[in-house]
Amino acid sequence: MRLLRLLLAATVALQAQDLITGENIRAHIRFLASDLLEGRGVGTRGGELATNYIASHLAIAGAKPAGDNGTYFQKVELVGVEPQPDAQLGATKGGDSLFLKWSTGFVGNTMQQKARAEFDAEAVFVGHGITAPEFDWNDYKGVDLKGKVAVLFTNEPPSEDPKFFGGRALTYYGRWTYKYEEVLRQGAIACVLIHTTPTAGYGWEVVKSSWGKEDPQVKLAPGAAALAFAGWVTRAGGEQLLALAGHTVDDLLKRADQRGFQPIPLGIRIRGVVPTKVRQIQAANVAAIIPGSDPAMSKEAIVFSAHWDHLGIGDPVNGDKIYNGAVDNASGCAVLIEIARAWAALRNRPKRSAIFVAVTAEESGLRGAEVYAARPVIAMGQTALNLNFDSFFPFGRVKDVVVNGAERTSVFPIVQQVARRFNLSIKADPRPEQGHFYRSDHFAFARAGVPAFSINMGDEYIGKDETAGAQLAFEYNAKNYHQPSDEYKESWDMGGPEQMARFGFTVGLTVANQPAMPTWRAGDEFLPARQKSRQLN
């Protein structure tokens, strides 16, 4: 009898999974990436249309509201800070001076959330700006950075040893978000990142489109410290700054990569004036829940997430100023909606609850996900797993799946089992040096202790040459990522997004019914947070 029940449950699950189709996913992308939504900018009419669309479809699916005051919306209070093109950045040494041009020489913003921020201070080169005692690494040793300008590179010391800064894989220490956080902790007044494509992992056009526009920031607490300037200079701009100090980009990058690096006072003063437009933004995460069937385990949850925002309206490229974000991330929102619809169709409701969250302000540094992690529908200690969906290529069905970070969790055997069921090989992160694990919304869950990872397509396409997938990904990243050309096309093949949605649905469903509460593996950086969150419940 028990075997029969299991077989019936599996059959019903397969029937529900079959509701997830590429054509349904296509319909959501077509709308969410349309010009009508004007790039789904945070705090804009297009963004509001996007959140209402997602909430409506979650309601139609049968998911109940899980936001504030019985709604589908969790308020996220942000401050929009938009740098103006008359911003100034320059440097002086004795009687010599230089000035960089906005957009072509530098971009950036103030974190002080005011109409005008200014600074004029000594500059110190601090390598990669990392303090990592577990690797015996401190780029700030022997220097007092209080009130000074930190000049540094993104990324981290290169290594092939996986036990030293993750080897080829970028850790959080290499991300620009960490750099700004650590520089502020060290007391700096401003931070200047020197951009190179290898250290950043993307070209200047991506930096310019991301940092030359309004930045939705989490509202500062009264009296909280913040950087007067956090920004980037081009490699050419970096050469000019460093030449004034008698150095070159290559020379200082080489020094930054060496163990025993010592901070270098540059002997120059960097001055900046950052005029901005500031506005209060009431943004929102969309949150819905399908309760579990077990009286005890329904108090625990699987969280499916995707970010709904993109870059809105920005600088025109070939006459187009709408950054539609079709792949990034209308595709992930479409997958989220269709998983919810399939989950609600299950006749045998899973034991754990399922929460569906479309978060805001991912493009500004995972702001919405951080807010959700701080105010979750079900406590982080009772959240079993977060599966995140971000950017799916519409080039057909694939033979492989990327689940970077899953191997660090106790869920990995289930992931492997489901991959075999779908005839998918699990592929290692093809670009570990870009630190994708620390760039998507699941990272906010991981920091709170929840086993979390994103589900991404591999690049071995069925019916295509084995090199085609890598070339398609390269072309997207080079030409369309964070550009107006990331637009929906009717010719797209939605087989791959359909595969990933069904795969994620099945992983979540399996974990929702297993008795054991997932965790991180021994020695993982997020295990202490998991243990602490579990103790609080």
DSSP secondary structure of 152-181: EESS----S-TTSTTTTS--GGGSHHHHHH
Q: Are residues 254 and 323 in the same domain?
A: no
Answer whether residue 68 is part of any domain.
Answer: no
CA proximity to 191, closest of 142, 123, 247: 123
Query: What's the whole-number mean pLDDT along residues 465-480?
Result: 88
pLDDT at site 512: 98
Give the integer Cα–Cα distance in Å for 117 and 342: 50
With cut-offs at 50, 70 and 90, classify the pLDDT of residue 11.
low
Claim to verify: residue 272 and residue 368 sit in the same structural domain: no
Percent of the chain with pLDDT over 70: 97
199 with 267, same domain: the answer is: yes
Is 112 in the same domain as 185? Answer: yes
State which residues form the domain around 124: 81-278
Mean pLDDT of 401-405: 96
In this predicted structure, what is the pLDDT of residue 14?
61
466/272: higher pLDDT:
272
Residue 12 within any structural domain of the chain: yes
Asked whether 408 and 521 are in contact (CB, 8 A), the reply is yes
Same domain, 135 and 48: no
CATH number of the domain to which 111 belongs: 3.50.30.30
Tell which phi-psi region holds residue 511, choosing left (phi > 0), alpha (psi between -120 and 50) or beta.
Answer: alpha
pLDDT of res. 13: 59
**Which two structure tokens, joined as six digits, stand for 460?**
């071995």
401 within 8 A of 456, measured Cβ to Cβ? yes
Q: Which pLDDT score, from 0 to 100, does residue 163 have? A: 84
- Among 191-200, 206-215, 398-407, which stretch is predicted with the lowest mean pLDDT? 206-215
Verify that 98 and 161 share a domain, yes or no: yes
Averaged confidence pLDDT in the chain: 94
Q: Find out whether 141 and 265 touch, Cβ atoms under 8 Å.
A: no
Q: Is residue 94 scored above 50 in pLDDT?
A: yes
Read off the DSSP letter of residue 125.
E
At residue 474, the pLDDT reads 86
Whether residue 163 is found in the same domain as residue 244: yes
Does residue 75 belong to any structural domain of this protein? no
Residue 72 lies in a domain: no
Instruction: Look at the chain and report how many structural domains it folds into.
Output: 2
Name the pLDDT band for 9 (thresholds 50, 70, 90). very low
pTM for the model: 0.86
Residues 244 and 334 in one domain: no
Neighbouring residues of 296: CB distance < 8 A, sequence distance ≥ 6: none
Cα 185 to Cα 14, 136, 142, 190, 256, distances in angstroms: 51, 19, 15, 12, 20
Q: What is the pLDDT of residue 7?
A: 41
| d(C-alpha 510, C-alpha 350), whole Å | 9
Contact 316/19 with Cβ under 8 angstroms?
Answer: no
Q: pLDDT at residue 435 above 90?
A: no
Mean pLDDT over 466-492 rounds to: 92
